[in-house]
Amino acid sequence: MTLRQGVDATGTEAAGLDNVIEVGGLRQRYGDFEAVRGVSFTVPRGEIFALLGTNGAGKTTTMEVLEGFTPATDGTVRVLGLDPIRHRRELRLRVGIMLQEGGFLGDLTVAETVDLWKGLSEDGGRPVTLSGTTTLPGSFNLMGRVRGVDRRTMGALELVGLESKARTKVRQLSGGQKRKLDLALAVLSAPEVLFLDEPTTGMDPEARRTTWKVIENLRAGGTTVLLTTHYLEEAERLASRLAIMHEGRIHTYGTVEEVVAGSGDTVAFRLAGVTWSFGDLPSLDGTVPTLTYAGGGTEVTYTLTGGRAEARAHAALRPLLKWADERGETLERLAVRRGTLEDAFMRVVGEVR
């Protein structure tokens, strides 16, 4: 699959798979404001797909349409082949949702909250089971240790690391612990599709990594996951593919490797003196450097985006070193750095601005 920018994120490879989520030309308006502007992408079964973007990029709005909370202004949206609005009842039996905020009842204990949600799920026809085809971490090893707490409730709490908080009132939980409780409720019925809107916000690094393991195990068991996140390392760790949204549009998408490769590699060094100009320096693969004058020297940076990602930095060093040798110049603090997901993200934001 070739990385493309500013186009839909369906892709020919994904189109040939069993797509669990399909979005085509989605537009969402609120009065005169268009929050989502022609977004398209697909998510095959068993994949984790990440939506990245700045605040207000349209990520949560896109999720709300997919979750059936609001109808699309225009375009087509399908989850498990069904319209999220017209087939809301059928989808609720097969989909788990973790919103940005759970809206818990603060005076209930953690266990009581799970019991309440479990009862609502079962009344709605959703059997509560955490087994299914997925072996999740801590498979009910602690069930029944807290007197009066249902075994399945303890299994859910153990899954997300809240078993010691079973008797704690929800209002006493930290922000990160409330996010764990959100996740426990979202996976109670072992959903086929899981929507996670910023799932690890407020968690400490250890809790975040524990949550990542839960999500990875769900994916290994066949669950399809669509998540939004502001943590780029989270997307790199979890996602098979990702898209970067800005101002309501998808600007870049692909696998993590493809997106990172598209951000380019950098070659940076320092030259003595402040008399250097663009014309003095070589063009590397058609790239002109940026120059910064400071401390009696010139900081030179090339960003390489052409050619094969695996070889472009190596190819660029040859003419650069030859240029330095011919002039007797020293490339002080010469460094070659592979592009990062942050580079790709900032490039999207910078290009649009």
Domain limits, the chain: 1-94+192-197+219-262, 102-191, 264-339
CATH superfamily of 1-94+192-197+219-262: P-loop containing nucleotide triphosphate hydrolases (3.40.50.300)
Axis crossing angle, helix 110-123 with helix 175-186, rounded to the nearest 10? 30
Mean pLDDT across the stretch 276-301?
Answer: 91
- Residue with the bigger pLDDT between 80 and 140: it is 80
**Looking at domain 264-339, which CATH architecture does it have?**
2-Layer Sandwich (3.30)
Which pLDDT score is estimated for 16?
Answer: 40
pLDDT above 60: residue 137:
no
pLDDT above 60: residue 44:
yes
Give the rounded distance of the alpha carbon of 113 from its chain centre. 28
Pull the structure tokens for residue 8: 């839909």
Which pLDDT score is estimated for 4?
Answer: 43
- Cα dist from 297 to 62, 269, 270, 292, 328, whole Å: 48, 10, 7, 8, 16
The average confidence (pLDDT) of the chain is 84
Pull the structure tokens for residue 294: 């400071």
Kindly report, residue by residue over 159-182, the tens digit of the pLDDT: 888 888 888 999 999 888 999 999
Pull the structure tokens for residue 219: 């994916």
pLDDT above 60: residue 302:
yes
pLDDT above 70: residue 132:
no
Mean pLDDT across the stretch 127-145?
Answer: 44
User: pLDDT-based confidence at 347, cuts 50/70/90?
Assistant: confident
- Residue with the bigger pLDDT between 261 and 27: it is 27
The residue length of the chain stands at: 353
User: pLDDT-based confidence at 123, cuts 50/70/90?
Assistant: low
Pull the structure tokens for residue 169: 């009132």
Kindly report, residue by residue over 316-325, the tens digit of the pLDDT: 999 999 999 9
Contact 213, 156 (CB under 8 A): no
* Helix (H/G/I), strand (E/B), else coil: 146: coil
Mean pLDDT across the stretch 49-60?
Answer: 92
User: pLDDT-based confidence at 66, cuts 50/70/90?
Assistant: very high
The residues, any chain, with a CB within 8 Å of residue 183's CB and separated by 6 or more, are: 98, 160, 196, 199, 211, 214
Query: What DSSP string describes 73-87?
Result: SEEEEEETTB-TTTT
User: pLDDT-based confidence at 21, cuts 50/70/90?
Assistant: very high
Which pLDDT score is estimated for 8?
Answer: 52
Kindly report, residue by residue over 215-258, the tens digit of the pLDDT: 998 999 899 999 999 899 999 999 999 999 999 999 988 998 88
What are the φ/ψ torsions at residue 249 (nearest 5 degrees)?
-125, 155
Contact 110, 181 (CB under 8 A): yes
Express as a percent the part of the chain with pLDDT over 90: 50
Which pLDDT score is estimated for 200?
Answer: 92
What is the distance between the alpha carbons of residues 76 and 73, in angstroms, rounded to a whole number? 10
What is the distance between the alpha carbons of residues 226 and 48, in angstroms, rounded to a whole number? 6
Contact 158, 168 (CB under 8 A): no
Of 60-64, 138-142, 220-224, least confident by mean pLDDT is 138-142
Which pLDDT score is estimated for 134?
Answer: 36
pLDDT above 70: residue 119:
yes
pLDDT above 50: residue 115:
yes
